[in-house]
Amino acid sequence: MSIFSIFRRKKKDKTVLKEKSLVENENSNLNEELKLNIKEISDKDIEIDNAVKLNNKEVITRIVNMLPEVGNLLTNNKDKSYVVSLPKVSGKLDNAKKNVSSSDVNLNDVEVNNDVPLAKQIAKYLDENYKNNKRSSNAEAIVASANIASSYIVNEVKNDLDKINSEVLSINSFLSNEYKSKIDEISLFIDKTTKFSDEIISDDNRRRERISQIENHISVGIQLLKQAIISISEEIKDIKDNYPKYEKQVYAINNWVLNLKALYGLLAELCKLDYLYYQGSASLESCEYDLKQVMPEIKELLLGLANWHQIEHMKLDVNMETGEHRNTGLKTMFKKLLTRAENHRDIEYSRIPEVVLGMISNQMNMNISQYEIKLSEVFNKEINLAIIQGEIYYYQNMVC
C-alpha cells in the first residue's frame, strides 16, 4: 500500500470554507465616475527598495487604458512623482468586469525602446492613438486594482520560488520515486502557473480550473507533509546508546527535515496562488487554512527534535562547541593501544565531521518562519500606485 493510500483522508469541502470567508461584496455605484485621489510626492516619501515595479506590458497597458488619468501622469510632468490611490477590490471584481469595455489597444504597435521606460512609451502611444476625455469609473478602477494586486502576488511567489526549488533539488534520492515525483510535480506546477498567470487570470474558465488544480495540489502536499512529520517522529523515538548509531540517525533525520522544509515552502506558495486566483472573492485566511492547521504539529515536532538531540548529547557527551564526542567501549581501548597521543583528551574524544555538525545544528535550530505566509489581504486593501519618472510601482506601505 502506498503512503498516499495510508495517509489519504477525505478531502475537506473547501468551497464551504471559502463561502464562509468571502469578502463582503459591495457592488453599488460601480458605474459612477471616479475621482482619483492623486497626490504629488517627493523623493523623501518613497522607499523605492520596498516597492514592486510593474513591468508587464499587458498589465501596464490595461491600467493606463482603463485609467486615462494615469496615462496623463506618465505622459505629462515627467519630472514629478505621484501617488494614485485606487479602491480596494473587496469582492467586487466580477461585477466590475461587466461594466468595463474591452480594450482596443493593439500591443503590437507599442515599440519598446530600452532608453525609454515602458510605462512612458505605452502612455505616449495611448495619448496619440486613443485620445478621449472620459473620466474613469469605479468599475475601471477596481479592475485596475485587481491587476496591480495580482502582479504583486506573482512577484512575491517568483521571488520565493528560486530558493525553495534549490531545496527541492537538494532532497536526497532516498525518497521513493512516487513520493519525490509528487514533490517535483508541485514545484513544476507552481513554476508554470506563475509564468502564465496573466493569461489564466484573463480567462475566467481557466482561472476557475486553476483554482481546482491548486487546491488538489494543496491536498496532496498536506499528505506528503504529514508523512514527513510522522517519519521524523518515528526516528526520534529512541535514544541511541553509542555515537555511531546517533550519527547514522542524524543522517536519516536530515533527509526528512529537508523534505519537510521544502514541502512547507511549496505549500505556502500554493496558498498565495489560491488567494491570487480567487481575485478577492475569498479571504487569505481561508486560502491558507489547511496549511495553518498543520503548523501546531510542525512546531511540536521541531521542539521534540531539539530535545532529542539535547538528550543524546548529554548521554554521549557530545560537545557542539568543540565539535567532539567522547569515545566509548572498544574505540577507547584501541585508541590507547594504537596512538601515541600524549594528550589524554585525544584518546578520550574524537572529532565530529563538519557536515554532521552542520546537520545537527540545523536540526536543533530549524524553523520554517521564513516560509510563513506574510502576504496581506491585498485584494481587500486600498491600492497605492506610485508613478516615478515614467515608471509604475505598487507599494504595500506608502509614506505620504
Give a yes or no: residue 208 inside a domain: yes
Higher pLDDT, 369 or 332: 369
Specify burial of residue 191 (Cβ count, 10 A radius: 0-12, 13-18, 19+).
middle
Torsion of CA 205, 210, 211, 215, to 10 degrees: 150
The predicted-structure confidence for 207-258, as pLDDT tens digits, reads as follows: 999 999 999 999 999 999 999 999 999 999 988 888 999 999 999 998 888 8
All three cell numbers of 105, joined, read 489597444
pLDDT-derived band at 15 (thresholds 50, 70, 90) equals: very low
How far is 133 from 193, CA to CA, in rounded Å?
38
Give a yes or no: residue 238 inside a domain: yes
Report the chain's terminal Cα–Cα distance, integer Å: 60
Give a yes or no: residue 195 inside a domain: yes
Please state the domain count of the chain.
1
All three cell numbers of 179, joined, read 513520493
Lowest mean pLDDT among 48-52, 140-144, 327-331, 355-359: 327-331
Give a yes or no: residue 168 inside a domain: yes
Can you give the pLDDT at residue 29? 67
Lowest mean pLDDT among 113-127, 292-306, 310-324: 113-127
pLDDT at 299 over 60: yes
C-alpha neighbours within 13 Å on the C-beta side of residue 334:
6
How far is 173 from 282, CA to CA, in rounded Å?
38
Give a yes or no: residue 234 inside a domain: yes
Packed helices 289-316 and 204-235: angle between N→C axes, nearest 10 degrees? 20
pLDDT at 331 over 60: no
Mean pLDDT for the stretch of residues 58-73: 81
How far is 361 from 365, CA to CA, in rounded Å?
6
Mean pLDDT for the stretch of residues 58-85: 81
Mean pLDDT for the stretch of residues 281-292: 92
Can you give the pLDDT at residue 398? 41
Domain with 292 in it: 145-378
Can you give the pLDDT at residue 103? 57
- Using the structure block, give the residue that is written with the C-alpha cell 502564465: 196
Can you give the pLDDT at residue 278? 93
pLDDT at 317 over 50: yes
pLDDT-derived band at 2 (thresholds 50, 70, 90) equals: very low
How far is 235 from 305, CA to CA, in rounded Å?
9
pLDDT at 12 over 50: no
Higher pLDDT, 384 or 24: 384
pLDDT-derived band at 11 (thresholds 50, 70, 90) equals: very low
Can you give the pLDDT at residue 140? 85
pLDDT at 400 over 50: no
Can you give the pLDDT at residue 200? 92
pLDDT-derived band at 43 (thresholds 50, 70, 90) equals: low
* Sheet with 318-319, side-by-side order of all strands: 318-319, 324-326, 349-351
Can you give the pLDDT at residue 6? 35
